[in-house]
């Protein structure tokens, strides 16, 4: 939404300033509440209540001047109790918009606070495609009564939007395409547009159809305004159009938006009838969420976590990963356990073994980061993969020789045992080779299995380089240092 | 750029198909070249040469039908030698566009192949702001002769663009704003636009100025086309406008684009004179590059690496991180070294210590991922940070008690030593607390020091939880298990 007058958007410094003011008002109001609880004289209580109301109305006034996206930002940065105080003060006609803007976790906390009437009012402010984004979080009876209140066309749209899988174009598209016929003059187009009134957000082009209603081209607004109104649509429209099907993967569509610098694009069925449109703002939000989920997922968080979630939900969010990690750590530990006799005879091995494992893990991660990025950018194919493998093996060999010599020399320097230095060097070289192989093959295998290589790769990789590193180092030591 | 006719954009499946065709043609052509080298009869050689030329012209034809962004994609996915073969076949009038699209590393390899005349021709296809993006990679004499060939206005623009620091709005803005006066009628606006002809890419709004040339509002095209042409600009324009200064941080501007769903926005000086504009395509590319650099940086790659870079550059790209890693690994190793006597008496410690360190590192990473994201979204302030710290400490306590008991029980089960189990549990608890603290304080401190917390945090964190974990576990063991 383009900010409307009276909702002057805030830059980050201003936003921080507002955030501070809001916090300050909330703090004062909290103090007053505490005083109220303790006050026993009625006059004092009355004074405090007046003050309390003043603070709240000042806060309400400040909020009323903010863009919904900014209010969403403030709500996300507030601890639960204060978040709900602010939420109660927000203009009711922005509720729907704000619920769309906040993160999933925060949205749940807000919806839990609203009664059925408020939820219905908020839902009524939204288009079918927007409502579809909220539907999963709405209580069943609210959703039902919203559905009942809709006209047939919107109900059908909402049901269609809900029927598309989450990561498809269908789930992201809206139902606000403006279509015109190819056989009319631009003058007629203008008359039509003036009858519609202001066009939907992100309308940079009109979709042109033939008399069978099939998409035949697009007319850019920036072309339209610069053309002679006497010309026909078919003369000035562009015929090569990027179109999507509702079943297309959303990520692929997002890549096309990035690659071809699109602002909006038609979504069509197999007969090229226009079903809806995809717009850049939705694509940007989608990419943002995707990358966010990937970043958190890579660090071992199952899903997005409300910054101020309770301890219970936070802990549950983190356990699956820790459980996996415990298993891999135990395996590594058992590998070491195999060589306890060797370590007992030469305890320096215990001090040196984490170096071999650790540097292996790091080089492996460097390799896998490159591979994961290349997979995400769709740059790998059978033809170039084997070249890449050869290159990474060479890099690992060179790294292994250089860093192996360094750590070998350090081991020799520390313990004065030349054989130990040689074993250390050899183990480094071998573990770096293992790391390079694992760093390539694990993401490639996950990609083949149609799993996101960014998510599980690093656990598997570290498990390999840890257990592998301990096994190689202690194994070599048990053979050559007895 | 909106794809022009004859440059039908390719979806990802089609792109992969083209990629395969290109590879196939390159392979055939390579075979022919090898044959040519070995052929001794002149007739045979002639045949081979004909075949060779046929392959190349087929490839050239295929390339000529692709969008520049798709050609850039293909170039990035090809090993150096084949990349240059393709580059030579690309239509010269797309050279400039393609150089803008490819990654920095690939761009260098392409520019190295071009002679001065080709470079000048490519540079001449670009606007001042686009040229500024290439300037760093161009040989000095080419840049000079391009400058000489420019008119005064464009030269001034190029110099201005080059003078802004890399991560500012000034470096990203273009010089294609369309401004109109507020006191004219929409009819006059149309006449003006028709004189200009097609408007620049991503023109979704016109910038409105008063008679002093100061920005007073914006006129959305989708509003313009739906209004009565007799009305005045000042009646239909929006007065609340998101504007930027050339010195604004690019990342903040990108956040504003995401938050307010902008397609374009004016860049103004302190007197509100329009200097240029920022558009969503540039913002999306910027965010893409930023996240890419962060993802690679987090994995320890100094800069973007050409997938098919030689071993030398690849190795240099990875060494700084490995060197840092070696130092932290050595510190951890010396911490273990302190307790060699203890390990010698109870070798089970050597097998168990990586568990304590490893799980500590993982929980710390979960915490720091949340903090880093909150910092990136600007959600932290003095008021909520201490709440967050309290919450994370509680999560760590709970995790420490639960997982500490589990690993304690495992240790007891493996070695039948109850005291060892207790030490293991206590060490886990303490190391998870240390991890939570480090996971919060390290990114917060880096943010205070105005460094990117996403980049160095994980090394420092792992160093802390490794050395700390070894110290806590072995220290407790040396005190309580003797």
Q: pLDDT per residue over A206-250, tens digit each? A: 999 999 999 999 999 999 999 999 999 999 999 989 999 999 999
pLDDT at A5: 38
Residue of B nearest to A206 (CA): B222
Portions of chain B given CATH number 1.10.357.20: 311-480
| Superfamily of domain A12-172, CATH level 4 | MgtE N-terminal domain-like (1.25.60.10)
Residue A192 has pLDDT above 90, yes or no: yes
Nearest Cα of chain A lies from the Cα of B156 at a distance, in angstroms, of 27
At the fourth CATH level, the homologous superfamily of domain A179-298 is: CBS-domain (3.10.580.10)
Distance from CA of A315 to the nearest CA of B (A): 6
**Given this model, what pLDDT does residue A2 score?**
41
- Statement: residue A347 has pLDDT above 60: yes
Return the minimum-mean-pLDDT range out of A107-121, A278-292, B7-21, B301-315: B7-21
Chain B residues with CB under 8 Å of A348 CB are 337, 340
B455 contacts in chain A (CB < 8 Å): none
What is the dihedral sign for C-alpha B177, B183, B189, B191? negative
Chain B residue with the nearest C-alpha to that of A13? B252
Average pLDDT over residues B285-294: 86
Which of A199, A322, A335, A342 lies closest to A263, judged by CA? A199
- CB pairs A-B closer than 8 Å: 388
The predicted model gives B96-114 an average pLDDT of: 90
What's the CA gap between A468 and A128, in Å, rounded? 54
Q: How far is B100 from chain A (nearest CA, A)?
A: 12
Contacts of B284 in chain A (CB under 8 A): 257-258, 280, 284
Maximum mean pLDDT: which of A12-21, B45-54, B70-79: B70-79
Across the interface, whether the CB atoms of A226 and B198 are under 8 A apart is answered: yes
DSSP letter for each residue of A272-337:
-BEEEEEEHHHHHHHHHHHHHHHHHHHTT-SS---TT--HHHHHHHHHHHHHHHHHHHHHHHHHHH
Token pair of A465 as six digits: 């380089």
Flag whether pLDDT at B79 surpasses 90: no
Per-residue pLDDT at A10: 47
Rounded distance between C-alpha atoms, residue B368 and residue B364, angstroms = 6
Are A340 and B347 a contacting pair at CB < 8 A?
A: yes
Q: Is the pLDDT of residue A324 over 80?
A: yes
Question: Under an 8 A CB cutoff, do B362 and A322 touch?
Answer: yes
Write out the residue limits of the CATH 1.25.60.10 domain(s) in chain A. Answer: 12-172
Cα separations (Å) of A282 from A68, A73, A130? 16, 17, 10
B376 min Cα distance to partner chain A (Å) = 11
| Contact between B90 and B82 (Cβ < 8 Å) | no
Count, in order, helices (H) and strands (E) of chain A. Answer: 22, 5
pLDDT band at residue B39 under the 50/70/90 scheme: low
- Taking CB atoms within 8 Å and a gap of at least 24, the contacts of B181-184 are B181/B208, B181/B209, B181/B210, B181/B211, B181/B233, B182/B208, B182/B209, B182/B210, B182/B216, B182/B217, B182/B232, B182/B233, B182/B234, B182/B237, B183/B210, B183/B211, B183/B232, B183/B233, B183/B234, B184/B232, B184/B233
Backbone φ and ψ for A342, nearest 5 degrees, come out as: -60, -45
A208 and A232 Cβ atoms separated by less than 8 Å? no
Average pLDDT, chain A: 88
Search chain B and give the residue with CA nearest A428: B326
CB contact under 8 A, A399 and B73: no
Cβ-based contacts of B447 with chain A (< 8 Å): none
Neighbouring CB atoms inside 10 A of B37's CB total: 9
Separation of alpha carbons B222 and A193, rounded Å:
9
The reply to whether residue A358 touches residue B332, judged by beta carbons under 8 angstroms, is yes
Instruction: Please report the pLDDT score of residue A11 as a whole number.
Output: 58
CATH 3.10.580.10 residue ranges for chain A = 179-298
Q: Is the pLDDT of residue B303 over 70?
A: yes
Contact A333 B354 (CB under 8 A): yes
* CA-based nearest distance B134→chain A, Å: 19
User: pLDDT band at residue B342, thresholds of 50, 70 and 90?
Assistant: very high
Question: Which residues of B14-94 form beta strands (DSSP E)?
Answer: none
Report the interhelical angle of B418-448 vs B348-376 (nearest 10°): 30
Q: State yes or no: pLDDT of B40 exceeds 80.
A: no
Dihedral angle, C-alpha B330, B333, B338, B339, nearest 10 °: 180
Whether A349 contacts A343, CB under 8 Å: yes
CB contact under 8 A, A226 and B329: no
A69·B260 Cβ contact <8 A:
yes
Contact A377 B76 (CB under 8 A): yes
Write the residue in B227, B252, B291 that is nearest to A291 by C-beta. B291
- Name the minimum distance, in Å, from the CA of B199 to any CA of chain A: 6
Chain A residues whose beta carbon lies within 8 Å of the beta carbon of residue B70: 259
Provide the shortest C-alpha distance from residue A437 to chain B (in Å).
16
Sort out which chain B residues have CB atoms less than 8 A from A200's CB and list them: 222
pLDDT at B25 over 90: no
pLDDT score recorded for residue A410:
94
Model pLDDT, residue B210: 94
Q: How far is CA B241 from the centre of its chain?
A: 28
Chain A residues with CB-CB distance to B19 below 8 A? 381
Per CB-CB distance under 8 Å, the chain A contacts of B203 are 222
The fourth-level CATH superfamily of domain A311-480 is SLC41 divalent cation transporters, integral membrane domain (1.10.357.20)
**C-alpha dist (Å) from residue A303 to A103, A104, A321:** 11, 10, 11
* Cβ contact A225–B228 (<8 Å): no
Give B397's Cβ-side CA count (13 Å radius).
8
Q: Do A384 and B221 touch (CB under 8 A)?
A: no
Q: Which of chain B's residues have a Cβ under 8 Å away from the Cβ of A70?
A: 259
Mean pLDDT over the full length of chain B: 88
**Which among A186, A243, A263 is the top mutation candidate for probing chain B, defined by the most B β-carbons within 10 Å of its own β-carbon?**
A263
Task: Indicate the pLDDT class of residue B388, thresholds 50, 70 and 90.
Answer: confident
Please indicate whether, in this complex, the C-beta atoms of B199 and A193 are within 8 angstroms of each other. no
Largest Cα–Cα distance in chain A?
A: 95
B71, with CB counted inside 10 A (0-12, 13-18, 19+), is buried
């Amino acid at each position: 939404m383009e900010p409307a007058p009276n909702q002057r958007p805030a830059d980050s410094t201003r936003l921080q300033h507002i955030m501070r003011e809001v916090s300050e008002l909330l703090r004062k109001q909290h103090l007053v509440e505490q005083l109220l609880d303790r006050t026993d004289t009625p006059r004092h209580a009355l004074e405090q209540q007046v003050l309390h109301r003043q603070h709240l109305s000042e806060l309400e006034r400040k909020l009323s001047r903010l863009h919904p996206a900014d209010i969403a930002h403030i709500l996300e940065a507030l601890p639960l109790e204060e978040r709900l105080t602010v939420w109660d003060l927000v203009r009711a006609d922005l509720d729907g918009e704000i619920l769309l803007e906040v993160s999933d976790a925060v949205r749940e906390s807000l919806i839990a606070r609203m009664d059925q009437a408020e939820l219905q009012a908020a839902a009524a402010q939204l288009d079918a495609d927007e409502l579809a984004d909220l539907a999963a979080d709405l209580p069943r009876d609210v959703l039902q009564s919203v559905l009942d209140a809709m006209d047939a066309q919107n109900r059908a749209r909402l049901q269609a939007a809900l029927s598309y899988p989450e990561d498809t174009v269908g789930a992201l598209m809206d139902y606000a395409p403006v279509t015109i016929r190819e056989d009319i003059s631009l003058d007629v187009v203008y008359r039509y547009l003036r009858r519609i009134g202001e066009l939907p957000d992100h309308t940079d082009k009109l979709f042109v159809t033939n008399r069978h209603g099939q998409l035949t081209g697009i007319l850019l607004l920036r072309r339209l305004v610069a053309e002679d109104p006497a010309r026909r649509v078919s003369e000035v429209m562009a015929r090569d159009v990027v179109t999507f099907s509702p079943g297309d993967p959303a990520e692929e569509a997002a890549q096309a938006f990035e690659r071809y610098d699109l602002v909006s694009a038609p979504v069509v069925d197999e007969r090229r009838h226009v079903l809806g449109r995809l717009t850049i703002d939705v694509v940007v939000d989608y990419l943002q969420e995707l990358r966010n989920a990937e970043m958190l997922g890579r660090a071992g968080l199952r899903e997005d976590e409300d910054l101020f979630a309770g301890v219970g939900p936070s802990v549950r969010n983190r356990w699956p990963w820790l459980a996996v990690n415990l298993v891999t750590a135990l395996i590594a530990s058992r590998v070491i356990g195999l060589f306890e006799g060797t370590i007992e005879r030469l305890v320096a091995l215990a001090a040196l073994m984490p170096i071999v494992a650790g540097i292996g893990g790091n080089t492996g991660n460097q390799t896998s980061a490159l591979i994961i990025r290349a997979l995400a950018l769709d740059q790998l194919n059978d033809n170039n993969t084997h070249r890449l493998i050869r290159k990474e093996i060479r890099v690992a060999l060179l790294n292994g020789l250089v860093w192996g010599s360094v750590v070998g020399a350090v081991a020799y320097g520390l313990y004065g045992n030349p054989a130990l230095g040689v074993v250390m060097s050899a183990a480094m070289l071998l573990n770096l080779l293992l790391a390079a192989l694992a760093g390539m093959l694990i993401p490639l295998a996950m990609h083949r299995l149609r799993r996101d290589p960014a998510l599980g790769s690093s656990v598997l990789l570290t498990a390999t380089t840890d257990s592998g590193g301990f096994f190689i180092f202690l194994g070599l030591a048990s053979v050559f240092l007895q």
